[in-house]
Amino acid sequence: MSTWNYVVTAHKPTNVTHSCVGNFTSPQELNLIVAKCTRIEIHLLTAQGLQPMLDVPIYGRIATLELFRPHGEAQDFLFIATERYKFCVLQWDSETSELITRAMGDVSDRIGRPTDNGQIGIIDPDCRLIGLHLYDGLFKVIPFDNKGQLKEAFNIRLEELQVLDIKFLYGCSKPTIVVLYQDNKDARHVKTYEVALKEKDFVEGPWSQNNLDNGADLLIPVPPPLCGVLIVGEETIVYCSANAFKAIPIRPSITKAYGRVDADGSRYLLGDHAGLLHLLVITHEKEKVTGLKIELLGETSIASTISYLDNAVVFIGSSYGDSQLIKLNLQPDAKGSYVEVLERFVNLGPIVDFCVVDLERQGQGQVVTCSGAYKDGSLRVVRNGIGINEQASVELQGIKGMWSLRSSTDDPFDTFLVVSFISETRILAMNLEDELEETEIEGFNSQVQTLFCHDAVYNQLVQVTSSSVRLVSSTSRELLNEWHAPSGYSVNVATANATQVLLATGGGHLVYLEIGDGTLTEVKHAQLEYEISCLDINPIGENSNYSHLAAVGMWTDISVRIFSLPELNLITKEQLGGEIIPRSVLLCSFEGTSYLLCALGDGHLLNFQVNMSNGELTDRKKVSLGTQPITLRTFSSKNTTHVFASSDRPTVIYSSNKKLLYSNVNLKEVGHMCPFNSAAFPDSLAIAKEGELTIGTIDDIQKLHIRTIPLGEHARRICHQEQSRTFAICCLKNQSSADESEMHFIRLLDDQTLECISTYPLDTFEYGCSILSCSFSDDTNVYYCVGTAYVLPEENEPTKGRILVFIVEDGKLQLIAEKETKGAVYSLNAFNGKLLAAINQKIQLYKWMLREDGSREIQTECGHHGHILALYVKTRGDFIVVGDLMKSISLLIYKHEEGAIEERARDYNANWMSAVEILDDDTYLGAENNFNLFTVRKNSEGATDEERGRLEVIGEYHLGEFVNRFRHGSLVMRLPDSEVGQIQTVIFGTVNGAIGVIASLPHDQYVFLEKLQSNLRKVIKGVGGLSHEQWRSFNNEKRTAEAKNFLDGDLIESFLDLSRGKMEEVSKGMGVSVEELSKRVEELTRLH
Amino acid sequence: MMGYMLGDLPSFDPHNFSQLRPSDPSNPSKVVPTTYRPTHSRTSPPPDQVITTEAKNILIRNFYQRAEEKLRPKRAATEHPTPEHGCKQPRASTTWS
């Protein structure tokens, strides 16, 4: 059953829609605030660059973002309005580093037609009122009182119905707006109005200007002393005020964004649809405008927002490509550009299509997206988890332990790699050819298994075996000293650091030795009541060679204990609970916080914070990493220490923003790992896995890895073919010459290098609409099928298209067959060895036929009419699920005997679909254009035909994102024997560049998490006082309904970000321990 | 020409970006900010700052306003004999009709 679904973001939206600059976090600090659809990011300007401070989730899609300075305030406030007609005013409290809600409200009207050109929200430069244009013919005013408090809002009738832009004018004694609008003859004009607050009405303003550029779309208000407004068109830019009018022609372009450079408003940056950045200068004399000048500066990503920051550095926010930090140079570079890109910020949006592939064939999905638009189009390979890049590997069976050693204490690199087996120890070392070869350390006992090895002070090495501890010179490699286990006892477990050795023998004896120059001294001995299972004395205090604490894991009572060193006094004892013994303990420090990690034999990991002064253990948490015993080891990457947990599900444990994170390592099973930092393989790891010893480097430590393949053109469809190891994409290139504006292509890419190896150009006006890799019955070949449409300017809907069938031969696309269709081929599916196409309002099934001459052709078999436009089709068995342009989801069935397709059931709601997917035989998932998700179920048991013919809506949820594609699959390695491995997941990609996962949960887990979600709503409040319940409620033009059968995984997983106190508050409400809650939530985070 | 146009770009704090070196363009910025999870009481707005739109319809509001104006001039005429005030009202009322 896929009724109960959990929706979570794997990759947050990255499309930058708004940005602004001001003193938000302190009167002295300059901030850049960036809106990414449902999130805002607060950055601080520093000498080193932009420093991200906070990522703030907003319970709404941001329609307006403005900083303003109310009278008498030393800092700016932030005004945010959302598309669902909520707004809030936020203030930063620098003492607590919290966002305070100064005001919020609902600005919706019961009656009103939402504006076609988006919502407008503006603030009077003198802070007398906030103006909103949300519905045609209405201008909403939220007045400020003289103390800066907001008062009740009211509407004013606005005569202009087709408003393109509204801005406040500077320097007016009464608040004055300038309105750019289109009249019913499609001519564009500007008009000014004074807002009479007392009368709640408009008064004709000081000036107006008729008959502007037909492409005029943007107003830029000019601050004092010049005042007035710039009207930006496609062919002209005009400066207009009560007493001046200046115009300049520009090269035809659509200006998408502007940024003011100077406080006096004399210079502006303009970004156009092609990513060209211009500087617009208002020349003036004695505060009188004398003219306009415009110059091309260079190229950037296509900007959706431009913010001048400081010292010639500018932020370019983009919806179509990566956002950028650029510098404006006084001198042009070799290409004549004044723009230098300093930094770029990844943006996957818009994700138009994607596919899930397992390129490395490791059982882990990677998402390859068609991202970006126009010249900023790209493919992005998104992979979860940390990869190991293999440098060298040898076959070695039965490795029981590994340690790296240096040849002298101050050598920066490791020389030896000690590999222990059940009855011997082998030593590998790098030779002069930088190859690993076997060597000897004479002082070591190589006839037995090594329990532990470590570098020691004074150029010494320590080897612990079951019978003794050997101290060896690292230079002469000779034995210097040896401590023998008492007769009748053998050492079971041991650990050491540069100056200390701690070991345990049978019978619960704990022995502590200290290392001197050529000496091994038994300092202390203690007898514990049970056998010891694991030990650690990793120094995490001030002295990096000496630990004052020892961690000891115990059999029988299943506890972990902290002892003081050198006294071996018991400080803390923590019962672990359950019956599984601890197999590995590790003291470690992340971001200045000390932790004790304790791994159990069943793949669970406990972590505690350690108080270094009194050894106390607090903040116990538990996670499940795998099902097999775990071995813990620290390693360094880029000067930061992380922990590697070797097990059936290898994991890297690291810390980010003071929170422990667990990231999968993209390897199947790792028995042992040790860092091996040699001159030839710097910063590498030695990994023992599946009878193999591998040396490799590790990826950057982060959860998601994104590889960008810039295309310079817009990819719209992608598909992978396992057999030819290729991708095929449909893409379009915008020609620079105006007459033939676009050309569409099918391109074949190598799936490893992602380089284009073959191209098939489509006809003029022919668009690639769908692509599929499939095979047909009675034919062993695998083909790429492409569906196209001829998009003619004079047609409302295409009336002609083609289905093209290609085979990949010698790395080339060879056209095998083609078939003309009576419309656009919006979707292609492999169906019962045949080809199922969605063509305009029809579903059409084609057979793959062998002609007498041996060639192949596509032949029509049957079809089904009755859609407005059948845009999205998914199939399962004989069932066909269709997502219609405006008639929601319908279910069709193919009847073999009759060779016919019939409608079985449909959802009678009027949903405008953007994607569909089949969750199981009876449950289908849909996304629609009001940013909602919903599920419908087939009602096979219905009593009447009418009931059976109706798809019942069983789940509804407001995602707040426009979904372009669903695909079955997973971003993480799935272990069939784990609980999480049983959960079915669907991945989705959105216009804002978000990647999310929808997981179908068992009912009991859903009920549990639903309760957790409602408890979390009480503890985690919506920024700006916005309600989570309202945000997630299903909402379209007709109705709003509470979310059902979907849970917000982003809220649920934020449990892990809470302070201990707040976690306990939630735990009380749930009647479940914090440990259990965090374990269950942590498991969910491993779904993505 | 361009040098002149791009000269004297504003500087609020000369230190800002002074130590920033252009990064490898193939290597995007990876710093991840902390996600904000408000749990404090000041996330809720002050009770008097929960804003709604006045319920009165624009037409009704205008009727009342005009009715009030009809009464007002008797008093207003003595207090504010300025003709400016008088001439503004009719114009305002014509905007909706």
pLDDT in tens, A466-524: 999 999 999 999 999 999 999 999 999 999 999 999 999 999 999 999 999 999 999 99
pLDDT in tens, A383-408: 888 888 888 888 999 999 999 999 88
**A406 vs A416, A424, A427, A479, A930, CA distance in Å?**
6, 21, 12, 16, 62
Chosen for mutation from B39, B41, B80 (greatest number of chain A CBs closer than 10 Å) is B39
Nearest to A150 among B12, B28, B49 (CB): B49
Distance CA A512, CA A532 (A): 14
- B20 → chain A, closest CA residue: A48
Q: Is B34 on the interface with A (CB under 8 A)?
A: yes
> What pLDDT sits at residue A971?
87
3-state secondary structure of A912: coil
Same domain, A692 and A781: no
Query: Residue A606 is part of a domain; what is its CATH number?
Result: 2.130.10.10
Same domain, A862 and A921: yes
**Considering the domain boundaries, does residue A873 fall inside one?**
yes
- What is the residue range of A607's domain? 388-702
* CB atoms B7 and A281 under 8 Å: no
**How large is the average pLDDT for residues A764-777?**
96
Nearest to B14 among A311, A332, A345 (CB): A311
Same domain, A932 and A997: yes
Q: What are the chain A neighbours of B34 within 8 Å (beta carbons)?
A: 53-55, 657
**How large is the average pLDDT for residues A697-725?**
92
* CB atoms A105 and B13 under 8 Å: no
Name the least confident of A34-38, A869-873, B35-39, B73-77.
B73-77
How high is the mean pLDDT of chain A? 94
> What pLDDT sits at residue A740?
56
Taking the CA of residue B79 and the nearest CA in chain A, the distance in Å comes to 18
Look at residue B79 and tell me whether its pLDDT is greater than 80. Answer: no
- B26 → chain A, closest CA residue: A708
Distance CA A680, CA A43 (A): 40
From A972, A1001, A1030, the end of a domain falls on: A1001
Same domain, A989 and A870: yes
What is the reported pTM?
0.89
**Considering the domain boundaries, does residue A375 fall inside one?**
no
Alpha helix positions (H), A265-392: none
**How large is the average pLDDT for residues B47-55?**
93
**Beta-bridge mates of residue A1034:** A1041
Nearest to B51 among A42, A103, A157 (CB): A103
Query: Where is B2: in which H helix or E strand?
Result: helix B2-6
Distance CA A353, CA A716 (A): 6
Nearest to A338 among B6, B28, B33 (CB): B6
Name the least confident of A232-246, A642-656, A664-678, B1-15.
B1-15
Look at residue B94 and tell me whether its pLDDT is greater than 50. Answer: no
**Considering the domain boundaries, does residue A715 fall inside one?**
no
Same domain, A966 and A840: yes
* CB atoms A330 and B28 under 8 Å: no
What confidence category does residue A1086 fall into, taking pLDDT thresholds of 50, 70 and 90? Answer: confident
- A105 → chain B, closest CA residue: B51
Look at residue B92 and tell me whether its pLDDT is greater than 50. Answer: no
Residue numbers of B between 68 and 87 with CB closer than 8 Å to A: none
> What pLDDT sits at residue B77?
47
**Considering the domain boundaries, does residue A878 fall inside one?**
yes
Look at residue B5 and tell me whether its pLDDT is greater than 90. Answer: no
Q: Is B47 on the interface with A (CB under 8 A)?
A: no
> What pLDDT sits at residue A119?
96
Q: Which residue has the higher pLDDT, A980 or A62?
A: A62
**How large is the average pLDDT for residues A248-262?**
95
Same domain, A649 and A771: no
Q: Is B6 on the interface with A (CB under 8 A)?
A: yes
Which one, of A915, A913, A969, A1000, lies nearest residue A351 by Cα? A915
**Considering the domain boundaries, does residue A565 fall inside one?**
yes
A686-690: Cβ within 8 A, 24+ apart: A686/A402, A686/A404, A686/A417, A687/A388, A688/A396, A688/A399, A688/A402, A688/A419
Q: Is B55 on the interface with A (CB under 8 A)?
A: no
> What pLDDT sits at residue B96?
43
**Considering the domain boundaries, does residue A721 fall inside one?**
no
* CB atoms B13 and A312 under 8 Å: no
Same domain, A569 and A462: yes
- Please, which residues have CB within 8 angstroms of residue A433's CB and are 6 or more apart in sequence? none
Number of H helices, E strands in chain A: 6, 87
Nearest to A52 among B18, B33, B44 (CB): B33
Residue A555: CB atoms within 10 A of its CB come to: 15
Taking the CA of residue B92 and the nearest CA in chain A, the distance in Å comes to 6
Does the CA dihedral A443-A449-A452-A455 come out positive or negative?
A: positive
Q: Is B40 on the interface with A (CB under 8 A)?
A: yes
* CB atoms B20 and A199 under 8 Å: no
Number of H helices, E strands in chain B: 4, 2
> What pLDDT sits at residue B95?
41
> What pLDDT sits at residue B1?
55
Residue type, A304: S
> What pLDDT sits at residue A364?
75
Chosen for mutation from B1, B30, B49 (greatest number of chain A CBs closer than 10 Å) is B49
pLDDT in tens, A266-301: 999 999 999 999 999 999 998 899 999 999 999 999
Same domain, A430 and A542: yes
Same domain, A809 and A696: no
Look at residue A676 and tell me whether its pLDDT is greater than 90. Answer: yes
**Structure letter (DSSP) for residue A261:** -
Nearest to B38 among A87, A103, A1020 (CB): A1020
Look at residue A817 and tell me whether its pLDDT is greater than 90. Answer: yes
Q: What are the chain A neighbours of B46 within 8 Å (beta carbons)?
A: 102-103
> What pLDDT sits at residue A738?
53
**Considering the domain boundaries, does residue A1057 fall inside one?**
no
From A944, A977, A1001, the end of a domain falls on: A1001
Look at residue A691 and tell me whether its pLDDT is greater than 80. Answer: yes
* CB atoms B30 and A700 under 8 Å: yes
Nearest to A47 among B19, B23, B58 (CB): B19
**Beta-bridge mates of residue A585:** A598
Nearest to B88 among A108, A203, A340 (CB): A203
* CB atoms B16 and A313 under 8 Å: yes
**How large is the average pLDDT for residues A83-103?**
96
Chosen for mutation from B27, B43, B84 (greatest number of chain A CBs closer than 10 Å) is B43
Taking the CA of residue B75 and the nearest CA in chain A, the distance in Å comes to 18
Look at residue B67 and tell me whether its pLDDT is greater than 90. Answer: no
> What pLDDT sits at residue A976?
58
Same domain, A894 and A989: yes
Name the least confident of A241-250, A360-369, A1037-1046, B80-89.
B80-89
* CB atoms B53 and A46 under 8 Å: no
**How large is the average pLDDT for residues A680-703?**
88
Domain count, chain A: 2
Look at residue A637 and tell me whether its pLDDT is greater than 90. Answer: no
3-state secondary structure of A17: coil
Q: Which residue has the higher pLDDT, A681 or A1005?
A: A1005
> What pLDDT sits at residue A664?
85
* CB atoms B5 and A279 under 8 Å: yes
| Interface predicted TM-score (ipTM) | 0.84
Q: What are the chain B neighbours of A152 within 8 Å (beta carbons)?
A: 51-54
What confidence category does residue A993 fall into, taking pLDDT thresholds of 50, 70 and 90? Answer: very high
Same domain, A500 and A394: yes
Look at residue B83 and tell me whether its pLDDT is greater than 70. Answer: no
**Considering the domain boundaries, does residue A951 fall inside one?**
yes
- In percent, how much of chain A has pLDDT > 90? 85
Look at residue B90 and tell me whether its pLDDT is greater than 50. Answer: no
Task: Count Cα atoms within 13 angstroms, Cβ side, for A1007.
Answer: 3
**How large is the average pLDDT for residues A140-164?**
94
From A1001, A1036, A1052, the end of a domain falls on: A1001
Q: At what angle do helices A1074-1085 and A1060-1070 cross, to 10 degrees?
A: 100
What confidence category does residue A457 fall into, taking pLDDT thresholds of 50, 70 and 90? Answer: very high
Chosen for mutation from B1, B4, B6 (greatest number of chain A CBs closer than 10 Å) is B6
Look at residue A761 and tell me whether its pLDDT is greater than 50. Answer: yes
Q: Are A18 and A64 in contact (CB under 8 A)?
A: yes
> What pLDDT sits at residue B76?
47
- Please, which residues have CB within 8 angstroms of residue A961's CB and are 6 or more apart in sequence? A13, A37, A38, A931, A990, A991, A992, A994, A996
**How many CB pairs below 8 Å do chains A and B form together?**
228
Same domain, A663 and A788: no
Nearest to A101 among B6, B28, B43 (CB): B43
- Please, which residues have CB within 8 angstroms of residue B42's CB and are 6 or more apart in sequence? A93, A98, A100, A101
